[in-house]
Amino acid sequence: MRMTLAVGCVIALAGLGAGTSTAQDIQALEKDITGLVDRTGEAVVSIGAYAGPPGSTQGARSVGCGVVFDQGALILTTASVVGAAGEVEVTTRRGHKYKGKVLGMDPAMDLAVVKAEGAELRPAVFSRGRVLPPGSLIFVVGNAFGSLPSVSMGVVSGLAAPASDEGGAETLRLSVAIYPGDMGAPVVDARGEVVGLLVGRISFSPWAYASRGPERVPSSMSVAIPAERALALAREIVKTGSKERGFLGVRVMDLTDDMRTQLGDRKLKGVVVTEVLVPSPAESVGIAPGDVITALGTGKVATVSSLLESLAKTKPGDVVAVSYTRGSLESTSRVRVSRFVSEYLRQQAKASAAEPPDVGAQIKYIRSEIDRLEAGLKGLETRK
């Protein structure tokens, strides 16, 4: 590109009074962005998964997005888009349709690989090893409302470390508009390189906003898997098929020096358990919040990442040793790890659907906020 897009945005916003040069800068920026979308859009496809027998195009269940990552017409998308379908329909931006075969999935990471049979598709350019700092400009080139390609512009909010054994990778947190059909879309940087794959959106309803307080709840945030990690998992899926990790059922965090001081052991290495899912393998052997996991199987655990690496070597049903400390006591238990989609998660979803929100409390909160605002307005009128 002739100019860095981030710099172009600053010029466009800060130089509104600069006359002809500003108009030229804005036009150059616009040309760079449309060129970026055009190049990446050639590798972005729409993916439709259908209920019913293989090959059926009746009863559409989900429509999402994918990005070509290999000359063999291999497409990276999300497991939630393809669902349980063995075959999907792949549509290019030029309207060409192909039968897509699902080669495999990694449900824990919400990734899937699809091969467009008989297609010749140009892969996108993926970033290798580049970490985007917060504030970096990004574009989601997707399939919003079935419009291929669509584009949304935003920024990187931050990089979030894994907090449980439910996945196993750092994720990009994005402030960007996301629409139906965008799941599985590539996240592109100002260089035009794919830096991540969109796998989810954290959003909050007005009821959650009201019940928890506006200062504590953001409106929405999108989540992407970094490109290098997504590519590595995709190639593993192509090679070995669907990936299933062992599931322990804990939420954990790295030990800090302050925690070690409180525990009375400055040399302690491990991860502290912040929550135990019920039911789960961890709960079945008595692991509790506050315990420090120090080893799993044959691997020592020093960080959350090392725990996830050890779990990645297990399969559902494997029995492994887990070592942990509780105060000054050290324990080792044999635990049978389960599948990622645990009974706990199903029960939680069922309970959430069955329990109506506490509407009375929410209305009370909203009224109190209205009263507070009205009081503030009256105060302003009095000072006038």
Whole-number pLDDT of residue 274: 87
**Is 368 a domain residue?**
yes
The reply to whether 217 and 308 lie within a common domain is: no
Please check the confidence at residue 219 and state whether its pLDDT lies above 50. Answer: no
Beta strands, E only, 79-207: 87-91, 97-106, 111-116, 137-142, 150-160, 171-175, 186-189, 194-203
249's CB contacts (< 8 A; 6+ apart) are 165, 276, 277, 279, 280, 281, 282, 283, 338, 342, 344
The reply to whether 139 and 69 lie within a common domain is: yes
Q: What are phi and psi of 220, to 5 degrees?
A: -165, 155
Whole-number pLDDT of residue 140: 94
pLDDT digits (tens, 9 = 90+) for 233-274: 899 899 888 777 788 888 888 888 888 888 888 889 999 998
Domain range enclosing 60: 42-240
pLDDT digits (tens, 9 = 90+) for 102-150: 999 887 778 899 999 998 999 999 998 777 889 999 999 999 988 888 9
**Is 311 a domain residue?**
yes
The reply to whether 37 and 93 lie within a common domain is: no
Whole-number pLDDT of residue 205: 40
The reply to whether 91 and 183 lie within a common domain is: yes
**Is 13 a domain residue?**
yes
Whole-number pLDDT of residue 35: 85
**Is 364 a domain residue?**
yes
Whole-number pLDDT of residue 107: 77
Please check the confidence at residue 286 and state whether its pLDDT lies above 80. Answer: yes
The reply to whether 278 and 308 lie within a common domain is: yes
Higher local confidence (pLDDT), 164 or 290: 290
Q: Round to whole Å and give the CA distance between 19 and 10.
A: 15
What percent of the chain has pLDDT above 70? 72
CA nearest 75: which of 60, 90, 94?
A: 90
The reply to whether 106 and 224 lie within a common domain is: yes
Listed residues 176, 205, 240: the one ending a domain: 240
**Is 245 a domain residue?**
no
Distance between first and last Cα of the chain: 54
The reply to whether 161 and 229 lie within a common domain is: yes
Whole-number pLDDT of residue 2: 39
> In 3-state terms, what secondary structure has residue 134?
coil
The reply to whether 90 and 212 lie within a common domain is: yes
Taking CA atoms, 194 is separated from 32, 44, 367, in Å, by 16, 11, 46
Where do we find the tokens 């990552």? 69
The domain that holds 146 is classified in CATH as 2.40.10.120
pLDDT band at 371 (very low <50, low <70, confident <90, very high): low
The reply to whether 189 and 163 lie within a common domain is: yes
Q: Round to whole Å and give the CA distance between 131 and 193.
A: 12
Whole-number pLDDT of residue 367: 58
The reply to whether 74 and 153 lie within a common domain is: yes
Whole-number pLDDT of residue 112: 92
pLDDT digits (tens, 9 = 90+) for 40-75: 889 999 999 875 555 555 555 668 999 999 999 999
**Is 271 a domain residue?**
yes
Number of domains, the chain: 4
Whole-number pLDDT of residue 44: 95
Listed residues 300, 319, 336: the one ending a domain: 336
Whole-number pLDDT of residue 335: 95
**Is 94 a domain residue?**
yes
**Is 217 a domain residue?**
yes
Least confident range from 68-77, 172-181, 217-226, 243-252: namely 217-226
Give the orientation angle of helix 20-41 with respect to helix 5-14, to 10 degrees.
150
Q: Does residue 279 have a cis bond before it (omega within 30 degrees)?
A: yes
Beta strands, E only, 143-285: 150-160, 171-175, 186-189, 194-203, 220-226, 250-254, 271-276
pTM: 0.65
Whole-number pLDDT of residue 283: 92
Q: Where are the alpha helices (DSSP H) in the chain?
A: 5-14, 20-41, 79-82, 206-212, 227-240, 257-263, 281-284, 304-312, 343-354, 359-383
Amino acid symbol at 382: T
